[in-house]
């Protein structure tokens, strides 16, 4: 598989089979992704890979918090306000995803089940939590973003499905407790890795992209 093929194939899988991914493959993915560039080669990422019993305990603890109506408290807060055209794209995504699942927007129960699916790491057998020192700036978050895409492309090349999600880090204190993440690290994002349940309705949807003519302004060509 070449890089362009991997870029096109990668998508957010929101349902995984329970089949584990072997440790060797997971470490191979992380080894490949560790070649990601960063500001002055600072390599600000601290990676916690969870599978097996620790992940099951963490999943249960996160779901218990969610079911107990504990408000999510990500270390990196989500923006309170978005520019209107961006907000519109988010709205469109939600609408299309609900449609693909046959869920009505007003169906609170179904929406809650969708949220719970995210809190429970989409049932994935492995999750990578990407952390960094709290004192770092947006430039290090940028580096972590690049690392995330590298992980997902390396996974795609190996036939492993992935999902990057803010929902996975809704309860960072539980992640800290289970995986011994020190307080001085922010738990920035999580990436689920596993065998995608290809038949699952959650995985039929593909998010559209803006056309290149809208996204790119060319000069001098």
**Contacting range for ligand FMN; rule: CB under 6 A; set: 6-14, 35-43, 63-71, 78-86:** 6-14
161-200 footprint of ligand FMN as x/- string (CB under 6 A): ---xxxx---------------------x-----------
CB of 118 to ligand FMN, least distance (A): 5
Per CB under 6 A, 93 contacts ligand FMN:
yes
Q: Which is nearer to ligand FMN, 46 or 196 (CB)?
A: 196
| Total chain residues near ligand FMN (CB under 6 A) | 11
Per CB under 6 A, 9 contacts ligand FMN:
no
10-49 footprint of ligand FMN as x/- string (CB under 6 A): -xx-x-----------------------------------
Considering only residues 98 through 137, tell me which ones interact with ligand FMN, judged by CB under 6 A: 118
Given a contact cutoff of 8 angstroms between Cβ atoms, the answer to whether 172 and 187 are in contact is yes
CB of 207 to ligand FMN, least distance (A): 3
**Sheet-wide strand order for 161-165:** 46-51, 126-133, 185-194, 161-165
Per CB under 6 A, 207 contacts ligand FMN:
yes
**Distance (Å, rounded) from C-alpha 191 to C-alpha 193?**
6
CB of 24 to ligand FMN, least distance (A): 26
- Which residues lie near ligand FMN (CB under 6 A)? 11-12, 14, 93, 118, 164-167, 189, 207
């Amino acid at each position: 598989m070449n890089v362009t093929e991997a870029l096109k194939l990668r998508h957010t899988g929101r349902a995984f089979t329970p089949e584990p991914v072997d440790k060797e493959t997971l470490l191979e993915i992380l080894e490949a992704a560790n070649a990601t560039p960063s500001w002055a080669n600072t390599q600000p990422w601290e990676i916690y890979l969870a599978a097996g019993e620790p992940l099951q305990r963490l999943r249960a603890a996160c779901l218990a918090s969610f079911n107990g109506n504990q408000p999510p408290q990500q270390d990196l807060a989500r923006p309170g306000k978005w520019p209107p055209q961006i907000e519109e794209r988010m709205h469109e995504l939600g609408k299309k995803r609900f449609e693909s699942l046959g869920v009505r927007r007003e169906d609170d129960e179904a929406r809650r089940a969708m949220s719970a699916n995210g809190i429970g790491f989409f049932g994935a057998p492995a999750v990578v939590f990407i952390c960094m020192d709290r004192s770092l700036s947006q430039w290090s978050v940028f580096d972590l973003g690049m690392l995330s895409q590298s992980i997902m492309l390396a996974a795609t090349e190996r036939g492993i499905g992935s999902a990057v999600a803010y929902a996975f880090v809704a309860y960072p204190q539980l992640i800290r407790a289970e995986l011994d993440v020190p307080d001085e690290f922010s738990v920035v994002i999580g990436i689920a890795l596993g065998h995608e349940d290809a038949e699952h309705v959650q995985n039929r949807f593909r998010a559209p992209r803006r056309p290149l003519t809208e996204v790119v302004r060319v000069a001098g060509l």
